[in-house]
Amino acid sequence: MPNLQIRQAIRDAMAEEMARDENVFLLGEEVGHYNGAYKASEGLLERFGAKRVIDTPIVETGFAGVGIGAAMCGLRPIVEFMTFNFSAVAFDQILNNASKIRHMTNGQFGVPIVFRGPNAAAHMLGSTHSQAFDPFYAHIPGLKVVAVATPYDAKGLLKSAIRDDNPVVFLESELMYSVRGEVPEEEYVIPIGKADIKRPGKDVTVLTWGQGVPTALEAAEMATRHDIDAEVIDLRTLRPLDNECILESVKKTNRCALIYHGWPYGGVGAELIARIQELAFDHLDAPVLRECYEDVPMPYAENLEHLVIPSAERGLAAILKVCYKA
């Protein structure tokens, strides 16, 4: 079984789907001749040609709109944002066109499109380039939102996203493109909407996704020194959420902590807490706690950035507190 980086798994997913379906094509800044800003499209221009791997100008609202129009005409575009911070320029296209056209045309037009690229903080990029956009897009009916943290998940979920007849926002991480993991040689897909238990446990449920996954796993491992067996669930899909997996775990452990990249106010974490207290309140032995960004713009200075971004140590503190061991 090949050991691939996340960037390679993403490349392979796109290559396989482009070979399977001639309607699939890629467009975005530097995706062709430069092989992608993070080399996730390496070799695709040479293999599929300039009509299917399209370098665009630096105009996100323009090429997002081109992608949406192409999807309405029956093609299956993959739109790469160099970073989802730049998707803010295309927000009107995604919010008012991609997510709503099927509804507003009573199903006469579909929008089978994938918007993909790195999300959340990288390292010392400042406040305008370090934002987690998952709550913005998860808020919008008509979109599906996926966040990946392993090569296996990245490939299987991207293939599902490309085949989906709805617009999918596919969130990666700049800091995790080099993360390695085993990926099957045979074809496989992972259903959108299914969480994955990355670490089974019995004492506390830890919910996480995307860039928060390695931090949550490290915090769970540290918790074993305190005789706490934490179950770590990677949501993988933020819209739709896998309520069944989440609630089954919480009803088993009776405690829950969240570790994720994103602001606390009005985000995916807040939605998770609301659902857990509504649907599993009688099973809780402690309030649901979370470790996420501090509620401030991301600093540029490395020492200050470290204070804002979730750490395994602070994740452990949340786990200990929810287990009444702090």
* Amino acid at the residue 63: F
Tell me if 281 sits within 8 A of 251, measured CB to CB.
no
Is the bond leading into 240 cis (omega within 30 degrees of zero)? yes
* Amino acid at the residue 322: V
The SS3 call for residue 161 is: helix
Residue 172 annotated in active site: no
Catalytic entry in 16, 30, 42, 129? 129
Catalytic entry in 17, 60, 172, 305? 60
Give CA separation, 101 vs 91, 108, 135, in Å.
Answer: 15, 9, 21
Residue 129 annotated in active site: yes
Tell me if 302 sits within 8 A of 314, measured CB to CB.
no
The SS3 call for residue 173 is: coil
DSSP track, 259-283: E-SS-STTSHHHHHHHHHHHHSGGG
Which sequence positions are flagged as catalytic? 60, 129
